[in-house]
Amino acid sequence: MKLLFVADPLESFKTYKDSTFAMMREAARRGHELFACEPKDVMWQRSDRVSAPLRAFTLTGDEHDWFKPKGDVQVTALADVGAVVMRKDPPFDSEYFYATHLLGQAEREGARVFNSPRALRDHPEKLAILEFPQFIGPTLVTRSEADIRRFHAEHRDIILKPLDGMGGMGIFRVGPDGLNLGSITETLNKGGAETVMVQRYLTEIVEGDKRILVIGGEAVPHSLARIPQGSEIRGNLAVGGKGVAQRLSARDREIAQAIGPILSSRGLLLIGLDVIGDCLTEINVTSPTGFQEITAQSGFDVAKMFVDALESAVR
């Protein structure tokens, strides 16, 4: 099968931890042909189909010089490859949004795209949890400073974060003293112009912010608990959190088994549920990671499970 990855430039990959690379390696092992392009390469013109200049490549096995071009770049309709895997890293900005519309047109022309472009738009990573209130802790979504002050007065210890943040960016904690609440609110909501998510601080964060991968509606049996280090409140690996693979708890499985099949039925082949303690905090749909860390520490081959699910989805 011809397998196209729409992703960041191949030259930027950190192959020792990159989940997209793990997918590529497993696909190549099975004999699939690998192609890549960036979202900026995708184009459409009337009387033609959505296409892009595709880079065919092979894997070298070298950690540093890890891929080798195979032939010339060829402009190809996305409907003419076996599957398109959308793996562009966040942020979900205007250009990402436009890319999903182009990929949606490619779907109408016969392309098989994973995750579904429409589902990517319909499930913003912070707000997707609103559909599953039974699994989340106290949460507020608002532009209003007064609402935020009321929420803080009730819960005393809170986390504030922008809706378009990634990798722990822009996350603040305000304790019972309320120190800097006004300044933080103004920074995040830009004087009431932008919406903010506020959640009660979950003390279980010291045990890790668990990333639970769900593939084809089924949970990977191990999560990656991202544990804050030092004085940091964030467990994100991008800000120095320590990743520790753990067997799923009964609560983890309950959350994954309830949400996974629903989102899979909407075209989300791969999602990442973020769970702190017993509470769901985010649903990642754009480019969930953790494949290599979970596999290295647990022995469970996440990339194999993903390519199995991808092959089944395109049959």
What are the residue numbers of the active site? Answer: 126, 161, 211, 226, 234, 274, 282, 284
Tokens in use for 89?
A: 């890293």
- Give the C-alpha separation, 213 to 205, whole Å: 18
Torsion sign, CA atoms 126, 138, 225, 299: negative
Q: Which long-range contacts (CB under 8 A, 24 or more apart) does 70-75 make?
A: 75/51
- Give the C-alpha separation, 136 to 270, whole Å: 20
Cα dihedral 268→137→89→143 (10° resolution)? 110
CA 225 to chain CA centroid, Å, is 15
Cβ contact 92:163 at 8 Å? no
Cβ contact 188:160 at 8 Å? yes
CB atoms within 10 A of CB 47: 4
Structural Rg of the chain based on CA atoms: 20
Of 227, 212, 277, 222, the closest CA to residue 246 belongs to 222
Question: How are beta strands 2-6 and 83-86 bridged, if at all?
Answer: parallel
- Give the C-alpha separation, 154 to 9, whole Å: 46
Tokens in use for 105?
A: 């047109």
